[in-house]
Amino acid sequence: MKSAAIHEIFSSIQGEGPYVGERHIFVRFIGCDIRCRFCDTPAVVQVSPDELSWKLCKVQPSPDFVEHEQVPNPVAAADLTVFCNRLIVPGPSRPTLSLTGGEPLLHHEFLAEWLPTVRGAFRIYLETNGIHAGAMRDLRDLVDVVSMDFKLPSATGLRPFWDEHKQFLSAVDRKTLFVKAVVTRDTKRADIITAGRLIAGFDRSVPLILQPAGGQCAPDPAMLVEFQNTALSLIEYVRVIPQIHKVLQVP
């Protein structure tokens, strides 16, 4: 079975979206194909093949918040399973495995082989930039929850990805899906309208999470209310949820 480039494997509290507060086991993959100006994981975005040979993967050895170990990259599938299994909190709950990054769908061939071996033991939660429809179509029967980003161009500083987002929506099993959009002080109402209309054209009941950026990029509170009102005029469920893990100061 294949191996994958992984930045870190750890257990923590989910800090984003409607599953906020749940305990998740995070597998953070290396690499991303876009460069959002508000990115909060720049260390994992761009690593060349030459750099990968010395880029170590940080591994938390137990569910407690303890010092990480370091292992070489790329990480073999069998080793990844061992690392994830030892982060399970003992008890009756079904643990959630959160695939994040970077962009995990850049590793879809690895995931297509690895996920069937662990899905019985874990609920699979995928965080993605929502532009890789083909990879999502290949994996949709192996994933339980999809956290899909809408990359609003006025917030990211990048070109629009509306066509890619539309194609991605068609590749997802809608019962597993919610959409998240980071909003900043530069976000335009027109982007919120486009996002709402895109969701409405797919399924008006799909939740939209507006996630305010922090620091100098943070939007004015009045903007958040305006954006929520705008989106609620188009779709059924719109919530404003900040990054709670940063409030709690957990990994």
Predicted model pTM = 0.93
Parallel, antiparallel, or unpaired for β 6-13 and 57-59? parallel
pLDDT tens digits, one per residue of 29-61: 998 888 888 877 766 666 655 566 568 999 999
* pLDDT more than 90, % of the chain: 79
The reported pLDDT for the residue numbered 52 is 61
The reported pLDDT for the residue numbered 174 is 78
Maximum CA extent, the chain:
51
The reported pLDDT for the residue numbered 49 is 53
| Separation of alpha carbons 77 and 55, rounded Å | 17
**Mean per-residue pLDDT of the chain:** 92
Specify the residue for token string 């083909």.
134
| Separation of alpha carbons 112 and 108, rounded Å | 6
Q: How confident is the model at residue 198 (pLDDT cuts 50, 70, 90)?
A: very high
pLDDT tens digits, one per residue of 67-79: 889 999 999 999 9
pLDDT tens digits, one per residue of 96-138: 999 999 899 999 999 999 999 999 999 999 999 999 999 999 9
Q: What is the DSSP string of 88-132?
A: PPSSSSPPEEEEESS-GGGGHHHHHHHHHHHTTTSEEEEEE-S--
pLDDT tens digits, one per residue of 130-186: 999 999 999 999 999 999 999 999 999 999 999 999 999 999 987 789 999 999 999
